[in-house]
Chain A
Amino acid sequence: GDSVTQMEGPVTLSEEAFLTINCTYTATGYPSLFWYVQYPGEGLQLLLKATKADDKGSNKGFEATYRKETTSFHLEKGSVQVSDSAVYFCALSEGGGADGLTFGKGTHLIIQP
């Protein structure tokens, strides 16, 4: 079945550091890929998505590129802020999001001033 593997946390960085959170997946078809963010006390929010190979999703300074050859969708940001502290989930959907998502375990990101 489908699965998503993302780096374990917590990841602790200083403000303005470069961020990479690795995510790889296994899927039987051609899934859509997502990054969700969960701020403390809030529900999951869609951060960005990509629906086909070589697509780049971007939002709020975060980027991730759908790499079919390496089955990866790594999340990057050039300069993180304290407000980026949250839990980040990588996820996939075989149905473009019309069906349920398969999630990674989540990566807790802590940004220190």
Chain B
Amino acid sequence: GAVVSQHPSRVICKSGTSVKIECRSLDFQATTMFWYRQFPKQSLMLMATSNEGSKATYEQGVEKDKFLINHASLTLSTLTVTSAHPEDSSFYICSANRGPGELFFGEGSRLTVL
């Protein structure tokens, strides 16, 4: 079946540094990908919609200058957490849309900012 891969699965960084997380659709092309953030014991919260070849659409309250999203190809979207701080520590999950109702999720990336 369809597979979406995220990398890295875990990352630890120092406060003030930037971290890039990749989301790849391995066996299909995805014009749209989504980035979610999950806090412990909380829902997955949609952060932004990543559209291939155009700017991402951010949900209300999500800082677009903090969370940079690039969808440069039909199989790759990246999320860069810039100048990370401890409050950015979270579980980040991407999903890729193969078609209407066909959403496939990555395994998630756990970011810890020291």
Contact = CB atoms under 8 A, between A and B. Distances in A.
A36 B4 CA distance: 15
Interface centre among B36, B41, B43, B104 (most CB of A within 10 A): B43
A101 B107 contact: no
Interface residues of A, number: 24
Contacts of A41: 107
A96 B100 contact: yes
Contacts of B46: 100-102
A42 B108 CA distance: 8
Given A96-B100, A97-B97, A97-B101, A43 B44 contact: no
A68 B42 CA distance: 25
Contacts of B36: 100, 103
A103 B44 contact: yes
- Label chain B's interface by main secondary structure: strand
Interface residues of B, number: 25
Interface centre among A45, A51, A93, A100 (most CB of B within 10 A): A100
B101 A51 contact: yes
A104 B43 contact: yes
Contact of A43 (B41, B49, B100, B108): B108
Interface of B: 4, 6, 32, 34, 36, 41-46, 49, 59, 93, 95, 97, 100-108
Interface of A: 4, 32, 36, 41-46, 49, 51, 89, 93, 96-106
29 contacts: A4-B43, A36-B105, A43-B93, A43-B105, A43-B106, A43-B108, A44-B95, A44-B105, A46-B103, A51-B101, A89-B43, A89-B44, A93-B101, A96-B100, A97-B97, A97-B101, A97-B102, A97-B103, A98-B32, A98-B97, A98-B101, A99-B49, A100-B49, A101-B34, A101-B46, A103-B43, A105-B41, A105-B42, A105-B43
